[in-house]
Amino acid sequence: MSEPSIRPARAATGAACAIVLCALPFYADAYWLRTGVFAMAAAIGAVGLTLLTGTAGQLSLGHAFFLAVGAYGYVWLAGEPGAGLPPLVAMVLAVLLSGLAGGLFSPVAGRVKGVYLGVATLALVFVGHHVLLTADSVTGGFNGRSVPPMSVGGFAFAADGPALVVLGVPFGAEERLWYLGLALLAVTWVTARGVLRSRPGRALAALRDSETAAAVMGVAVARHRAAAFVVSSMYAGLAGVLLALAFRRVVPDHFGLVLSVDYLAMVVLGGLGSVGGATAGAVFVTALPLVLARHADKLPLVGAEGGDAALGPTEAGRYLYGAAIVLVLLYAPEGLRGLASRLPARLVSAAGRRRAGRRSPGGPPTGPPACPAPDPAPSTAPAKEHLP
């Protein structure tokens, strides 16, 4: 099926998803909205990681470190003790601080690749966790720190702000954070897709496919790798800010090695190098344990955290998306992105077959048309005479 015939279906699907997401706070309860905010924060970080891993072909296990820089950077810049800056300014500076941390590590990222870069970034997680535990004056140590609420122009994205009622629905902290998360995710989508379609994005894709060929074409290998690491770190910092606002209190245990592994699972499930795939993978990996926790009393072998059940919701979620990763690697290497890209073509093709069947008076044929029998070849034998 040609691309022009698929584009209207994709546009209609995107518009329908946008309408549903904007209308969801009027119908969903606070639990599902909170789950959605966590998923949007994860999607922003996953988009940054897919630019590094899926597009540039660089393995990173230190994504949790840059999320921690963004989260604690915002808390210190906007809170007391700290700089006490306006929250919006603090968020922008926290993102830039994450980019600065990525820039300090970028010389290593520009010269090391593959599993060696993964081991090098793994050290960032352990060093960062140690710093978060020991720098009490900035991070609050083991107990963490409360997160100052976001406010823009006097409007607070928190429950203690001025009362707000829209169409008879009171907008609390979850409803307000939902729209803040949607706005940040939209900015992430636009900028990330712009990067992928730009000349640097094509250079990163060339690096992933063949470093030698890219170097022959004039691509500065080390510089582009380092730049990809910085951009990925900035997206992680923005995700860390939104994650801190959703948690309302940040502690060092939120940003361990498990979080970095979760982000790798997101981009693998969604499809490497795809913004939409990274978003879908983030929603799946983040929402699955929360959904299991909500319905733990109705599921076999799953119970509340710390209970007597065989599995807690978090453990059950990890087992399930671990099995999903294995299935994706075996049967759908392109991930959810590949499955979704083939769906519009199949729908358009099925609609075309139905229209063809309605136009045919006898209905669609059930098999190939029968070939007409060839005419018999003229005989060269003499005709027999008829006896009287």
Contact criterion met (CB below 8 Å) for 328 and 268: yes
For residue 202, what are the CA distances in angstroms to 27, 109, 214, 235? 42, 19, 10, 19
State what percent of residues in the chain have pLDDT above 70: 81
Lowest-confidence region among 15-24, 196-205, 297-306, 317-326: 297-306
What does the alpha-carbon distance between residue 357 and residue 350 come to, in Å, rounded to a whole number? 11
Lowest-confidence region among 97-111, 129-143, 303-317: 303-317
Residues in the chain: 388
pLDDT at 318 over 80: no
Would you call 376 helix, strand, or coil by DSSP?
coil
pLDDT value for 92: 96
What does the alpha-carbon distance between residue 366 and residue 214 come to, in Å, rounded to a whole number? 51
What does the alpha-carbon distance between residue 334 and residue 345 come to, in Å, rounded to a whole number? 16
pLDDT value for 303: 64
Question: What is the per-residue pLDDT across 36-92, written as a single tens digit (0 to 9) for each?
Answer: 999 999 999 999 999 998 888 888 999 999 999 999 999 999 988 888 899 999 999
Question: What is the per-residue pLDDT across 359-372, written as a single tens digit (0 to 9) for each?
Answer: 655 555 544 444 55
pLDDT value for 307: 59
What does the alpha-carbon distance between residue 103 and residue 105 come to, in Å, rounded to a whole number? 5
pLDDT value for 346: 58
Contact criterion met (CB below 8 Å) for 72 and 130: no
CA gyration radius, the chain:
28
pLDDT at 223 over 70: yes
What does the alpha-carbon distance between residue 106 and residue 99 come to, in Å, rounded to a whole number? 10
What does the alpha-carbon distance between residue 384 and residue 342 come to, in Å, rounded to a whole number? 67
Residue 350 confidence class, pLDDT cut points 50, 70, 90: low
User: Dihedral sign, CA of 94, 97, 99, 101?
Assistant: negative
pLDDT value for 291: 81
Residue 238 confidence class, pLDDT cut points 50, 70, 90: very high
Tokens standing for residue 105: 């590590």
Q: Which amino acid is at 132?
A: L
Contact criterion met (CB below 8 Å) for 40 and 174: no
Give the pLDDT mean for 16-31: 85
Q: Which residue has the higher pLDDT, 123 or 159?
A: 123
Contact criterion met (CB below 8 Å) for 219 and 203: yes
Would you call 156 helix, strand, or coil by DSSP?
strand
Give the pLDDT mean for 302-308: 62
What does the alpha-carbon distance between residue 139 and residue 373 come to, in Å, rounded to a whole number? 87
| pLDDT, averaged across the chain | 82
pLDDT value for 28: 83
- β strands within the chain, DSSP E: 145-146, 151-152, 155-156, 165-166, 169-170, 249-250
pLDDT at 30 over 60: yes
Give the pLDDT mean for 105-110: 86
Backbone angles phi, psi at 258, to 5 degrees: -60, -35
Q: Which residues of 346-363 are buried (b: 16+ CB within 10 A; e: fewer)?
A: eebeeeeeeeeeeeeeee
What does the alpha-carbon distance between residue 12 and residue 21 come to, in Å, rounded to a whole number? 14
Is residue 133 within a helix (H) or strand (E), and if so which, with residue range?
Answer: helix 115-134
Burial class (CB in 10 A: 0-12, 13-18, 19+), 334: middle
Q: Which residue has the higher pLDDT, 255 or 81?
A: 255
Tokens standing for residue 35: 């789950």
pLDDT at 383 over 60: no
For residue 152, what are the β-bridge partners?
A: 155
Contact criterion met (CB below 8 Å) for 276 and 301: no
Q: Which amino acid is at 320?
A: L
Tokens 């720190």 belong to: 145
Q: Which residue has the higher pLDDT, 280 or 1?
A: 280
Residue 192 confidence class, pLDDT cut points 50, 70, 90: very high
